[in-house]
């Protein structure tokens, strides 16, 4: 492990890579701060640049953008009560009330210290867990990978909100369908190309991500622009931050919260599909319960604990989500799904072999997480008063620029104008589906995992003489598939039991 850390340090600490960490954190903070644009859009916008770098530098850049975007999301949550991403919604519960009390600077500092601690502690866990899991997963076969991918896809849908599971599963299937466009890899047969030569190689994942996230976000903002009161609020909040000092008593109050939320966040992040949003809400709820009556009552009114818990947990979960990506090659979240796509673009197959075949990439990602968190704390925090002013850039300039960067990002990779037209088509579909409250992240995950899933299933069938019996004869495969089945059935079962309870005890005052 020490050798690995040394490899990671020597790779991540080169002047060029350090520059990419700093640049990534800054750009990520800026993009994440813009309401509506989250880490997925931020990373998607960075892919064209990352593609021109070597794999280590590219992944370091994207990881830095990831943290930066989460940090930036917290900033807009605190300052203007407009979370850039779902994972920072819980941050606004206590961050915004603090800002309203004239303590925006303090709230930002608490968020930064908590994020830093959560990220650093989780990176320590990752350091231990990733090589261990990678060694264990060396025993995995194609059949197990297929089962794991099924689990990953089902888990994402299972963690969707109440009543949204069918929609999330449907979007996953749509993603899987899109992944089948192009030439079939094994039999060399064109599928769904509609006779167009431009579709023979399939749909580029970058194109799909840019169209469904960055482009559709900007188009949604064009569809429903903010009113003048909101704009005034943003301008005002970005100019009056107050002191950034955190008192000793507040630090003491935060310390145990950070410890607990880091562990919770990391564990939730490791689970495929759960991610930073669930981690932040769980940490918030847990701390509220643990805080006792007096301190618990302050939650939602500007509690230091209430701000620290979700901030720590969402950063720890972001780090945790790298565990399945780096060790199994299965993304734990939409964001890591994009990173998986980028790694595949480099010709690197994440999974247990990554640890052995590409130690520089594996370890530099882990080490860069520490560096990224340090950069966020010592560079971004003091710069926040200036970065926050970017919130005041008029949307009439910002939105066309986002559209331009999205389009040109894809065009610069393929130099094919057909891609721009295809992006417009996907953007229209994405805007319509978002307007109808259909989630996009499961679709991206389905798209990324689709090709790999089909390939692993085919390989498994080839090894097993075209027999499907491996699904129930190999204990590991069967166990993973059973877990997937439980993930699938459990939300429906709990909803059904809940309804049944309501029907039986519905009108009774002593029901609970």
Partner 1 sequence: MLYSKDRIGGVLLLLFCIAYGLLSRNIKLLPFQMDVAFNARTMPEVLTVLGIGLSLAVIVFPGSAARPELGGYRWGQCALFLGLMSVYGLTIRPLGFIVSTSLFLMIGFALLGERRPHILLLVAVPLVVVFWVLMTQGLDVFIEPLPAFLKNGGS
- Cα–Cα distance for residue pair 149/508, rounded to 1 Å: 44
Residue 219 beta carbon to partner 1: minimum distance, rounded to whole angstroms: 6
Region from 330-338, 354-362, 369-377, 462-470 binding partner 1, contact rule CB under 8 A: 462-470
Q: By CB under 8 A, is residue 224 in contact with partner 1?
A: yes
> What does the angle CA 172 – CA 173 – CA 174 come to, to the nearest 5 degrees?
90
- Cα–Cα distance for residue pair 206/100, rounded to 1 Å: 39
Region from 69-77, 370-378, 383-391, 403-411 binding partner 1, contact rule CB under 8 A: 403-411
- CA-closest candidate to residue 205, choices 248, 171, 175: 175
By CB under 8 A, name the one of 101, 186, 247, 494 that touches partner 1: 186
Residues binding partner 1: number (CB under 8 A) = 65
Q: By CB under 8 A, is residue 498 in contact with partner 1?
A: no
Which residue, 194 or 249, is less far from partner 1 as judged by CB?
194
Q: By CB under 8 A, is residue 497 in contact with partner 1?
A: no
Whole-Å CA distances, 243 to 104, 106, 177, 251, 451: 8, 6, 52, 15, 51
> What binding mask, one character per residue, do residues 188-207 give for partner 1 by CB under 8 A, x or -?
-xxxx-x-------------
Q: Are 369 and 11 in contact (CB under 8 A)?
A: no
Q: By CB under 8 A, is residue 457 in contact with partner 1?
A: yes
Q: Where are any strands of DSSP class E within 430-496?
A: none
Region from 76-84, 158-166, 202-210, 251-259 binding partner 1, contact rule CB under 8 A: 158-166
By CB under 8 A, name the one of 101, 240, 421, 479 that touches partner 1: 421
Q: Are 85 and 297 in contact (CB under 8 A)?
A: no
By CB under 8 A, name the one of 225, 256, 382, 498 that touches partner 1: 225
Q: By CB under 8 A, is residue 399 in contact with partner 1?
A: yes
Write out the DSSP string of 185-234.
TTT--EES-TT-GGGTT---HHHHHIIIIIIHHHHHHHHSPPPHHHHHHH
Q: By CB under 8 A, is residue 223 in contact with partner 1?
A: yes
Using DSSP's 3-state secondary structure scheme, residue 270 falls into helix
Residue 353 beta carbon to partner 1: minimum distance, rounded to whole angstroms: 24
Q: By CB under 8 A, is residue 16 in contact with partner 1?
A: no
> What binding mask, one character per residue, do residues 34-53 give for partner 1 by CB under 8 A, x or -?
---------------x--x-
In sequence order, what are the residues at sequence separation of 6 or more whose Cβ sits closer than 8 angstroms to the Cβ of residue 460? 141, 142, 143, 146, 470
Q: By CB under 8 A, is residue 496 in contact with partner 1?
A: no
Whole-Å CA distances, 221 to 41, 287, 511: 14, 35, 45
- Cα–Cα distance for residue pair 312/125, rounded to 1 Å: 14
Sign of CA pseudo-dihedral 270, 369, 452, 456? negative
> What binding mask, one character per residue, do residues 360-389 give for partner 1 by CB under 8 A, x or -?
------------------------------
Q: Are 421 and 110 in contact (CB under 8 A)?
A: no
Q: By CB under 8 A, is residue 454 in contact with partner 1?
A: yes
- The full length of the chain comes to 512
Which residue, 7 or 429, is less far from partner 1 as judged by CB?
429
- CA-closest candidate to residue 334, choices 174, 217, 210, 441: 441
Residue 166 beta carbon to partner 1: minimum distance, rounded to whole angstroms: 5
Q: By CB under 8 A, is residue 493 in contact with partner 1?
A: no
Alpha helices in 52-160 (DSSP H): 55-80, 89-100, 104-137, 142-158
By CB under 8 A, name the one of 180, 286, 349, 414 that touches partner 1: 180
Residue 326 beta carbon to partner 1: minimum distance, rounded to whole angstroms: 27
Interface residues toward partner 1, by CB under 8 A: 49, 52, 162-167, 169-170, 173-174, 176-177, 180, 184, 186-187, 189-192, 194, 215, 219, 222-225, 394-397, 399-401, 403-404, 407-408, 411-412, 415, 417, 420-421, 423-424, 427-428, 431-433, 435-438, 450, 454, 457-458, 461, 466-468
């Amino acid at each position: 492990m020490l050798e690995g850390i040394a490899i990671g340090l020597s790779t991540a600490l080169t002047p060029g890579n350090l520059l990419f960490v700093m640049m990534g954190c800054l750009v990520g903070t800026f993009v994440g701060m813009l309401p509506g644009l989250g880490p997925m859009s931020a990373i998607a916008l960075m892919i064209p640049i990352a593609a021109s770098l070597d794999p280590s530098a590219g992944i370091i850049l994207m990881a830095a953008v990831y943290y930066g975007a989460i940090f930036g999301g917290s900033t807009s949550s605190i300052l203007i009560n407009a979370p850039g991403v779902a994972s920072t919604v819980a941050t606004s519960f206590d961050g915004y009330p603090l800002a309203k009390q004239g303590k925006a600077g303090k709230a930002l500092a608490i968020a930064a210290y908590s994020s830093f601690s959560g990220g650093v502690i989780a990176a320590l866990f990752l350091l231990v867990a990733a090589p261990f899991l990678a060694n264990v997963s060396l025993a995995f076969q194609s059949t197990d990978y297929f089962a794991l991918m099924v689990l990953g896809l089902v888990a994402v849908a299972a963690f969707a909100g109440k009543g949204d599971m069918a929609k999330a599963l449907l979007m996953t299937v749509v993603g899987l369908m899109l992944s089948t466009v192009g030439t079939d890899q094994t039999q060399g047969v064109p599928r769904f190309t509609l006779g167009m030569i431009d579709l023979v190689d399939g749909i580029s994942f970058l194109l799909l991500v840019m169209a469904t996230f960055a482009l559709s976000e900007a188009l949604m903002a064009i569809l429903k622009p903010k009113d003048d009161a909101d704009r005034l609020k943003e301008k005002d909040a970005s100019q009056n931050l107050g002191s950034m000092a955190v008192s000793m008593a507040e630090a003491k109050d935060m310390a145990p919260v950070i410890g607990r939320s880091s562990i919770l966040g990391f564990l939730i992040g490791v689970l495929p599909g759960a991610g930073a949003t669930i981690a932040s809400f769980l940490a918030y709820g847990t701390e509220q319960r643990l805080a006792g009556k007096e301190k618990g009552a302050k939650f939602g009114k500007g509690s230091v604990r209430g701000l620290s818990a979700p901030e720590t947990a969402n950063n720890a979960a972001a780090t945790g989500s790298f565990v399945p990506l780096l060790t199994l090659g299965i993304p734990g979240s939409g964001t890591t799904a994009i990173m998986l796509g980028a790694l595949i673009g480099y010709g690197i197959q994440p999974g247990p072999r990554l640890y052995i075949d590409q130690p520089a990439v594996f370890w530099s990602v882990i080490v860069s997480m520490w560096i990224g968190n340090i950069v966020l704390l010592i560079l971004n925090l003091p710069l926040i008063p200036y970065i926050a002013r970017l919130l005041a850039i008029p949307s009439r300039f910002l939105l066309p620029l986002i559209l331009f960067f999205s389009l040109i990002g894809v065009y610069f990779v393929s130099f094919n104008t057909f891609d721009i037209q295809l992006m417009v088509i996907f953007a229209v579909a994405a805007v319509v589906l978002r307007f109808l409250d259909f989630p996009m992240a499961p679709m991206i995950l389905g798209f990324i995992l689709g090709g790999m899933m089909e390939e692993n299933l085919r390989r498994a069938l080839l090894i097993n003489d075209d027999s499907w019996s491996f699904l129930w004869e190999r204990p590991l495969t069967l166990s993973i598939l059973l877990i997937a089945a439980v993930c699938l059935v459990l939300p429906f079962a709990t909803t059904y039991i809940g309804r049944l309870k309501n029907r039986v005890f519905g009108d009774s005052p002593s029901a609970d």
